[in-house]
Amino acid sequence: MAVSSLNTPGAHSAGGQGENHGTLHECFSCGVQDSGIVQLFQSSLGTTAARCWRTRAFGEVFAHASSIAQRAQHSGPHVHHSGPHVHHSGPHVHHSAARSAPSLCEREPALLDARHGVSSKLVRLAGELDVGAWRYFTAYECGSATESTICLSFRNRPNSEDWVATLESRDDGRSFGSAGSAPKLMLPAHWAPEPGRAIDWMTHNVAILRDADGYTLFGGLSHVYDTSPGVLVAHGKSHLFGTTGTTHLLDVAGNSTFANRAGRYVSEPSQWRGVRTIFDGRHPGCVEGRQGITKLAKRDDGRLACEFDGRLSAVRHRGRTWLYARANPGLSGQRYVQATSSSDLVHWAPFKLLEIDKYHLVDGDIYFLAAQVNPLAPDSLVGIAPVVHLQRGCIGLTVSRDGLRKPIAIEPDDSNKTQAGKPSPCFFPPGWSKIVPLMRCDRDLGDPISPGHRTVHQPAAGMLRRGSHVLIFVHEHVAGILQREPGHKQKSSKLRRWAVPVTAFANWTQAALCSLDGGPMCEARTSGIAV
């Protein structure tokens, strides 16, 4: 396939001045893993390209390049793409259809609805419905072969947290912990794993991964003043902090039974091992478009390094560990998702932006993506995300075959011939299916700089199959995200358990996978969904 040159003459900067954002090159090659539009800005995020990130022009380039990727074999000088996002005629790109199109949060009915046999109920945590300031919930299986247990981990406040801790459920997630029970420590915010070594803020965005060998944690901020800037990894046989037979109990104020503290750092013995930094905010490809943030390091070219300020998500898929992190491509707002992967937890691929079908990052914010193996089809991934799109909010569902984007070779038929009638040997699907709303929700009113960029509800990470249902937990009215104007009483924060029949969840994910595969491949490639 030929190298495609993209040019956006007449594009306008944030200040309204016309400028040429330069020619961007990308080679799309069938069978070359990880090629595609997600690499467009990774190799050339210099001054000119960085300006393009912060303007609507980026959406035009992104959409145009996506069209080229999917139609790289088409011949002739004129390409007309009749989809909802791009009309390309000659050298200019017109990207206005998405502006007038309905938000993805409203263009389809929400899936968490009684018509699908879905039911919900509020969850009691330590006997209480009000979860207070607890935030960033993760639900996961933590039982044994003889005992069925669901664990729920969380940090104790929206910012400047003291710890991440866990409550346990033995009633399929209807309640966690008994009335008055104390959560058990998973990780303190400030920790001295060994003399002379200190770790800060691994708790801020921690991702929890369980497999046959135990538990793996990923977390950390990349701040210049932290003792351990970057993302760290830790391994353990248990999900708890203490060594065998030692349990640290906590309360909502952050008090604990710690006997040993060196100032702010907890120096109690822990079962977590192999604690080390895997990369920092200067990792290749990492996207940070904000400016003037003194706590962030600078790269050699003067751009800021990434902060990893949003929650991380970790999943093992097809022999690799995938980490999903926040990308900040704009000066403010416009949160998005980027991914890296490793086969050995030592060598990590460059970060790349996700490609989500029918989503342009200039149209909204994806606060985070909680990705995991599909509980009904382990050969695919499923993700849940809080999304603000075209000024509407929702919690959305998306699926993926490979976690990012990879060309798929297909047999040619009438649906994939070029305009010249010749078969195309490659199909370039987006890495993730279009986001379908699970539930609609309001946006925040509390951000003084960019109000409306966050949803007031957030999903917990971890969708779990329990018998004939898939469980989805949603954190309603998250503390620190204002649903009402400042000064007015805010709604109390609660956790809701949704039970989705496996047949309904299978239909949702199969339809999403079909939208990625398309045509005659759909039935064969989704036959592995087990209900």
3-state SS of 355-380?
CECCCCHHHEEECCCEEEEECCEEEE
Query: How many Å apart are CA 475 and CA 470, to the nearest integer?
Result: 17
Domains defined for the chain, CATH in brackets = 1-101 (no CATH), 102-525 (2.115.10.20)
In the predicted model, what is the mean pLDDT of residues 195-205? 92
Confidence of residue 398 (pLDDT cuts 50, 70, 90): very high
Instruction: Say if residue 420's pLDDT is above 90.
Output: no
**DSSP states along 387-418:** EEETTEEEEEEEEESSSS---EE----GGGB-
- What pLDDT score does 257 carry? 52
pLDDT digits (tens, 9 = 90+) for 91-140: 333 333 345 689 999 999 999 999 999 999 999 999 999 999 999 999 99
- What pLDDT score does 531 carry? 52
In the predicted model, what is the mean pLDDT of residues 227-254? 80
Inter-residue contact 297 to 280 (CB < 8 Å): yes
Q: Which residue reads 């962030």 in tokens?
A: 296
- What pLDDT score does 170 carry? 94
Backbone angles phi, psi at 191, to 5 degrees: -140, 135
- What pLDDT score does 202 carry? 95
Query: How many Å apart are CA 152 and CA 357, to the nearest integer?
Result: 31
Instruction: Say if residue 73's pLDDT is above 60.
Output: no
381: closest CA among 395, 364, 369, 393? Answer: 369
pLDDT digits (tens, 9 = 90+) for 466-524: 999 999 999 999 998 877 776 778 899 999 999 999 999 999 999 999 888 764 455 54
Query: How many Å apart are CA 39 and CA 338, to the nearest integer?
Result: 11
Q: In angstroms, what CA-CA distances link 370 with 129, 135, 205, 238, 263?
A: 24, 14, 12, 22, 34
| pTM, to two decimals | 0.78
Share of the chain above pLDDT 90, in %: 54
**Other C-beta atoms lying within 10 Å of the C-beta of residue 66:** 24
pLDDT digits (tens, 9 = 90+) for 147-184: 889 999 999 988 889 999 999 999 999 999 988 888 99
Confidence of residue 240 (pLDDT cuts 50, 70, 90): very high
Query: How many Å apart are CA 455 and CA 395, to the nearest integer?
Result: 8
